[in-house]
């Protein structure tokens, strides 16, 4: 078994606990240190870069309230802010451990621990730490993708990251302008095929008469204007990814030809008889209710099952209210950079109005309105009219219950109810870490 490259320090006053922890951890991680004296922390951390510290909450006999653990937690963060801390406590001190989570500890474990659970917890912390280090090393605008903090979109991109590592066919669903192309490109860019072509085909705008020649290519002389042998989009994507956008618009009689290519992973150019193999990853997308089209016999059921090994549903922007303002500022920065001007601010009243606006065209509409605003105004502050939106277009049916904080609080309450108060499952559903969820529970005074 290959060990994880990480340095772990276990800090506990019980020598038996230290021996047991070291014997267990050294089978899974490269470097394991133990110590029974927290006063040596400064010396240890000055000599050794430590990834994770498993910190006991109590050290002195007679002091069992966990306050020592909180004290040493704060000291570690002063000395080595990037070191991740897992608190170790007895069942009776869980409340203090939760206090540590709120302060920034990544997790806590109970004594006596479950070996498998302990290993998985530490591995998870190391994995997240490495991920943060990788992101920090990247250029800020490497892929120019805004994901957002809404649990619904976080969940989609988490699933997309898993899908990217495989070669399965993916179907992306969502309204116009929700970012289907961006998600497809994200999957490709995070896949083993990332250095190979990414070919986007808008099937909705493809003329029926050109369908086969565009997708599958043609031989010289296959038709009047066929002056030379020409590869189609599938061949152009060989080794990489082909993104078939608006697949719900393909007429029924052409779907059989598309199905044959997807099934066989090969194409036959117009005017030829030989089959040409293509090594491609297929991603499709549509804004149509494709299941209803299947039921109505407008879309082939066998083609539907071929393209949707995994389905990713993008939420409309109106269901991501907490992302509206950050996304606006993201586009303002983008277009300010494009047009070589300083990025204007947005007046507070305009921010309130834009948060309540329906954004029926979703992200694409926002992108267009922001570009319009930066082209047409030279002011340092943008108002509603700069976006081409009038007060009459704003949804004024917004009550206190619909404020962003209330929406987030309600989302947390629903998720907690769904999973019977299970913190880990609730955090995963909301796309949050356990620590982030605990902070929100405290913020909204939610008792679990």
Domain boundaries defined on the chain: 4-137, 151-313, 317-393, 400-443
DSSP string, 175-242: -TTS-HHHHHHHHHHTSTTTTS-EEEEEGGGS-GGGHHHHHH-B-TTSSTT--S-B--HHHHTTTSEE
Average pLDDT over residues 259-274: 91
The CATH number of domain 400-443 is 3.30.70: no
Residue 408 has pLDDT above 80, yes or no: no
d(CA 77, CA 83): 7
pLDDT at 133 over 50: yes
Domain 151-313 has CATH 3.30.70.1520: no
| CA–CA separation, 176 and 153 (whole Å) | 16
As a whole number, mean pLDDT of residues 95-108 equals 76
Q: For residue 398, what pLDDT is reported? A: 45
Which pLDDT does position 296 carry in this prediction?
A: 92
Residues for the chain: how many in total?
448
- The string of pLDDT tens digits covering residues 293-352 is 999 999 999 999 999 999 999 999 999 988 999 999 999 998 998 888 889 999 888 988
**Arithmetic mean of pLDDT, 396-407:** 50
179 φ/ψ sector (left φ>0, alpha ψ -120 to 50, else beta):
left
Residue 142 has pLDDT above 50, yes or no: no
Average pLDDT over every residue of 408-430: 82
Q: Which residues contact 351 (CB under 8 A, 6 or more apart)?
A: 325
pLDDT at 63: 53
Taking Cα atoms as reference points, which of 230, 99, 79 lies closest to residue 87?
99
Whole-number pLDDT of residue 395: 66
Say if residue 402's pLDDT is above 50.
no
Q: How far is residue 375 from each of residues 353, 355, 379, 421, measured CA to CA in Å?
A: 21, 22, 11, 50
Question: How many C-beta atoms surround the C-beta of residue 220 within 10 A?
Answer: 12
Taking 60 as the threshold, does the pLDDT of residue 138 lie above it?
no
Residue-level pLDDT at 286 = 95
Q: Residue 92 — very low, low, confident or very high, per pLDDT cuts 50/70/90? A: low
The arithmetic mean of pLDDT across residues 370-383, rounded, is 91
The CATH number of domain 4-137, selected from 2.40.50.140, 3.90.1300.10, 3.40.50.2300, 2.170.120.30 = 3.40.50.2300
Find how far residue 176's CA is from the centre of its chain: 20
Residue 416 exposure: Cα atoms within 13 Å on the Cβ side: 16
Quick one: what percent of the chain has pLDDT higher than 70? 91
pLDDT value for 210: 85
- Choose from 89-103, 130-144, 393-407 the range with maximum mean pLDDT: 89-103
pLDDT of 136 strictly over 70: no
- Tell me the Ramachandran region of residue 340: left when phi exceeds 0, alpha when psi lies from -120 to 50, beta otherwise: left
Q: Establish how many alpha carbons lie within 13 A of residue 261's alpha carbon, considering only the half-sphere containing its beta carbon.
A: 24
Q: Fold identical between 4-137 and 151-313?
A: yes
* pLDDT value at residue 9: 94
SS3 label, residue 105: coil
Instruction: Please report, in angstroms and rounded to a whole number, the separation of the first and last CA atoms in the chain.
Output: 39
pTM score: 0.58
Q: Quote the mean pLDDT of the chain.
A: 85
- Residues 175-189 have pLDDT tens digits of 999 999 999 999 999
**What's the pLDDT at 394?**
84
Which of 141-150, 190-199, 238-247, 298-307 has the weakest average pLDDT? 141-150
Cα–Cα distance, 213 to 205 (Å, whole number): 14
- At the topology level, CATH places domain 317-393 in Helicase, Ruva Protein; domain 3 (1.10.8)
Token pair of 88 as six digits: 């170790």
pLDDT at position 303, please? Answer: 95
**Percent with pLDDT over 90 in the chain:** 42
Residue with the larger pLDDT of the pair 114 and 140: 114
Query: Which residue, 154, 45, 74, 117, is CA-closest to 437?
Result: 154
């Amino acid at each position: 078994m290959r060990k994880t490259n990480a340095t772990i320090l276990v800090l506990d006053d019980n020598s038996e606990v230290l021996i047991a922890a070291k014997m267990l951890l050294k089978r899974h991680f490269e470097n394991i240190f133990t110590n029974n004296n927290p006063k040596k922390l400064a010396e240890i951390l000055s000599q050794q870069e430590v990834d994770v510290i498993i910190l006991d909450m109590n050290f002195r006999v007679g002091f069992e309230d966990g306050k020592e653990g909180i004290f040493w937690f704060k000291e570690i963060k002063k000395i080595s802010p990037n070191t991740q801390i897992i608190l170790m406590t007895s069942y009776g001190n869980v409340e203090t451990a939760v206090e540590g989570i709120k302060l920034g500890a990544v997790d806590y474990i109970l004594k006596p621990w479950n070996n498998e659970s302990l290993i998985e917890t530490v591995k998870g912390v190391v994995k997240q730490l490495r991920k943060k280090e990788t992101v920090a090393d990247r250029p800020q605008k490497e892929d120019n993708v805004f994901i957002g903090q809404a649990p619904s979109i976080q969940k989609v991109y988490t699933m997309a990251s898993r899908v990217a590592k495989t070669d399965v066919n993916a179907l992306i669903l969502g309204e116009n302008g929700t970012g289907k192309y961006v998600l497809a490109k994200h999957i490709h860019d995070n896949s083993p095929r990332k250095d190979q072509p990414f070919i986007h085909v808008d099937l909705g705008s493809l003329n029926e008469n050109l369908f086969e020649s565009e997708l599958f290519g043609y031989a010289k002389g296959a038709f009047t204007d066929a002056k030379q042998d020409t590869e189609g989009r599938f061949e152009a994507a060989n080794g990489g990814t082909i993104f078939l956008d608006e697949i719900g618009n393909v007429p029924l009689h052409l779907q059989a030809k598309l199905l044959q290519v997807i099934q066989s992973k090969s194409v036959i150019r117009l005017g030829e008889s030989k089959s040409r193999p293509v090594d491609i990853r297929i991603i499709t997308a549509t804004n149509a209710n494709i299941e209803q089209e299947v039921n109505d016999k407008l879309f082939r059921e066998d083609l539907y099952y071929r393209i949707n090994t995994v389905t990713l549903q993008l939420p409309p922007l109106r269901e991501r209210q907490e992302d509206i303002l950050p996304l606006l500022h993201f586009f303002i920065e983008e277009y300010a950079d494009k047009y070589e001007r300083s990025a204007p601010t947005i007046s507070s009243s305009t921010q309130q109005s834009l948060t309540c606006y329906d954004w029926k065209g979703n992200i694409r509409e926002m992108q267009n309105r922001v570009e319009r605003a930066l082209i047409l105004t030279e002011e340092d502050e943008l108002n509603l009219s700069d976006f081409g939106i009038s007060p009459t277009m704003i949804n004024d049916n917004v009550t206190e219950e619909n404020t962003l904080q209330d929406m987030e609080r309600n989302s947390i309450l629903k998720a907690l109810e769904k999973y019977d108060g299970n913190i880990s499952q609730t955090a995963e559903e909301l796309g949050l870490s356990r620590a982030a969820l605990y902070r929100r529970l405290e913020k909204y005074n939610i008792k679990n």
